[in-house]
Chain A
Amino acid sequence: AQSVTQLGSHVSVSEGALVLLRCNYSSSVPPYLFWYVQYPNQGLQLLLKYTSAATLVKGINGFEAEFKKSETSFHLTKPSAHMSDAAEYFCAVSAPGGGTSYGKLTFGQGTILTVHP
């Protein structure tokens, strides 16, 4: 069984400030981990993914995340927030395996990021 916990349903930062969105996971097998972003009235867009290669993963729009097995964490960071980063962010986990296992995602509850001037 797998689960994801995102700490903080709302995070507010100033433009130019560090963005840190927290995600902790639980998995009985080595996980695949993902961050998705959802802008208003749009679908979920993949920001980045960890699939057991490098533990520091770089994604789109300047975001990156570090897989820390000892802490069961996969926090999302961006050094300098931009107004366009305002959206809802979802952390998700899946299990390695053939077929459709990769796409069977367990999501966290989401974190709404607000960026103010």
Chain B
Amino acid sequence: EPEVTQTPSHQVTQMGQEVILRCVPISNHLYFYWYRQILGQKVEFLVSFYNNEISEKSEIFDDQFSVERPDGSNFTLKIRSTKLEDSAMYFCASGKDTYNSPLHFGNGTRLTVT
């Protein structure tokens, strides 16, 4: 069964550095999402992406964050200048269409900012 693939599984970075989290969604999916889960807290919606543009974003998704689908297969989340509070598990998800098909989540990237 096709899977959503995220790399790396764990990334450690220093405060102020830029990080790019990578995701390969399922190939025929059209809707893409990033979620994050800070340790001990709820999974939170960050951003949704469709037709090569952001559809919705949460209050968390400020100017430090950006998303891109550079080549039709990868879907990336960039954090320009990481802060300690960006440490979290980041999940990518993709969906084929609307309510008839479920979201498929990747295994996540654990980002640790030191």
Judge whether B33 is part of the interface by a CB distance below 8 angstroms.
yes
Interface majority SS (helix, strand, loop, mixed), chain B: strand
A99, CB-defined interface residue at 8 Å: yes
Interface size on B, residues (CB 8 A): 26
Contact B33 A90 (CB under 8 A): no
Q: A105 and B50: CB pair below 8 A?
A: no
B98: which A residues are within 8 A, CB to CB? 98-99, 102
Q: Known contacts being A43-B107, A110-B42, is A99 close to B31, with CB within 8 Å?
A: yes
**A100 and B42: CB pair below 8 A?**
no
CB–CB A100/B48 < 8 A: yes
A interface residues, tally (CB under 8 Å) = 27
Choice from A41, A46, A104 contacting B56 with Cβ under 8 Å: A104
| Chain A interface main SS type | mixed
Q: Which residues of A contact B48 (CB under 8 A)?
A: 99-100, 103-104
Q: Which residues of B contact A (CB under 8 A)?
A: 4, 31, 33, 35, 41-45, 48-50, 55-56, 91, 93, 95, 98-99, 102-108
Binding site for B on A (CB under 8 A): 32, 34, 36, 41-46, 49, 51, 90, 92, 96, 98-110
